[in-house]
Amino acid sequence: MNRQRSIEFVMVLLMMGGIFWFQYQRTERAHTVQQLYEAAADELDYSNDSLSASIRVLQAATKRQFLQLQSKDSSIIALQQAVKRYKGKLASATVASTVTSVSGSSETTVTPTDTVVIDSVVYVYPTYSTSWTDKWSSGTITATIDSISRVFKVTNDYTFTYGYGRWNPFKKRDLTVTMTNLNPNTTTTELRTFTVKQSEKRFGLALYAGYGMTATVNGELYHGFQVGGGVIWRIWP
């Protein structure tokens, strides 16, 4: 009889645990979607020198959940297209856009290359050219009487870092991505990262069986074969 009651107790416990687990998962999904939409409304946060830009990472439980996000943000749309094109098991994806402005001066070389005779008058049309090379850009510009040609090259280097920033007792730490331009002439205009959120296993069920001794609230002791179960809830992440 005691064994039968133990089995019934375990069945009830498992049923209650299943209901609790279902409700917990439902709440977690709703919370993840809420955080996803909140992060989608973020704007780039620039450093004082404008070389670094940071933004909160978009996290979703699944790739499908992220693709269902409704947004008019061009960077998010581009990120969703990149995620959709990837056919494997996605872990993370990033899209970024930059703009580079280059200004400066260089010496000009004048070369008489085109001669035209009109009514015994000789007209000499020179070619103007200039070129430069530095760490971040190089180019050549050539101008004649009727055209200008240019060859231009820009070099850009970047670093991407992912982390939670410094601890603040009054603010929750969110996962952020920071893009830093090593070229001082380059500024980040768009930056978005999506990651599949790793689930935190706070809740679980546990079963045990074996021979032991149990004390009741009345102080009585029972020993013998025992079957039981329990709910595990991890408080700290």
The answer to whether position 104 is within a domain reads: no
Distance between CA atoms of residues 1 and 24, nearest Å: 34
**Is residue 109 scored above 90 in pLDDT?**
yes
Say yes or no: 65 and 122 in one domain.
Answer: no
The answer to whether position 28 is within a domain reads: no
Say yes or no: 47 and 144 in one domain.
Answer: no
Q: Please give the tally of structural domains in the chain.
A: 3
Q: Specify the pLDDT at position 220.
A: 66
Q: Specify the pLDDT at position 142.
A: 95
Q: What is the pTM of this model?
A: 0.68
Q: How confident is the model at residue 235 (pLDDT cuts 50, 70, 90)?
A: very low
Q: Specify the pLDDT at position 159.
A: 97
The answer to whether position 82 is within a domain reads: yes
167-182 average pLDDT score: 86
Q: Specify the pLDDT at position 179.
A: 97
Q: Specify the pLDDT at position 236.
A: 44
Q: Which of 5-9, 39-43, 194-198 has the lowest mean pLDDT?
A: 5-9
Q: Specify the pLDDT at position 173.
A: 81
131, 140 contact by CB (below 8 A): yes
CB atoms near residue 90 (< 10 Å): 16
The DSSP letter of residue 11 is: H
Any idea which residue has 């090593």 for tokens?
Answer: 182
Q: Is 68 left (phi over 0), alpha (psi -120 to 50) or beta?
A: alpha
Say yes or no: 162 and 183 in one domain.
Answer: yes
Any idea which residue has 């409700």 for tokens?
Answer: 23
Give the domain extent around 145.
109-152
Q: Specify the pLDDT at position 84.
A: 94
Question: 29 by DSSP, 3-state: which?
Answer: helix
Say yes or no: 56 and 131 in one domain.
Answer: no
134-141 average pLDDT score: 95
Average pLDDT along the chain: 81
Kind and range of the H or E run holding 95:
strand 92-100
144-156 average pLDDT score: 92
Q: Specify the pLDDT at position 174.
A: 87
Helices (H), ranges, the chain: 2-40, 63-67, 74-85
Say yes or no: 225 and 146 in one domain.
Answer: no
Say yes or no: 134 and 90 in one domain.
Answer: no
Q: Specify the pLDDT at position 36.
A: 85
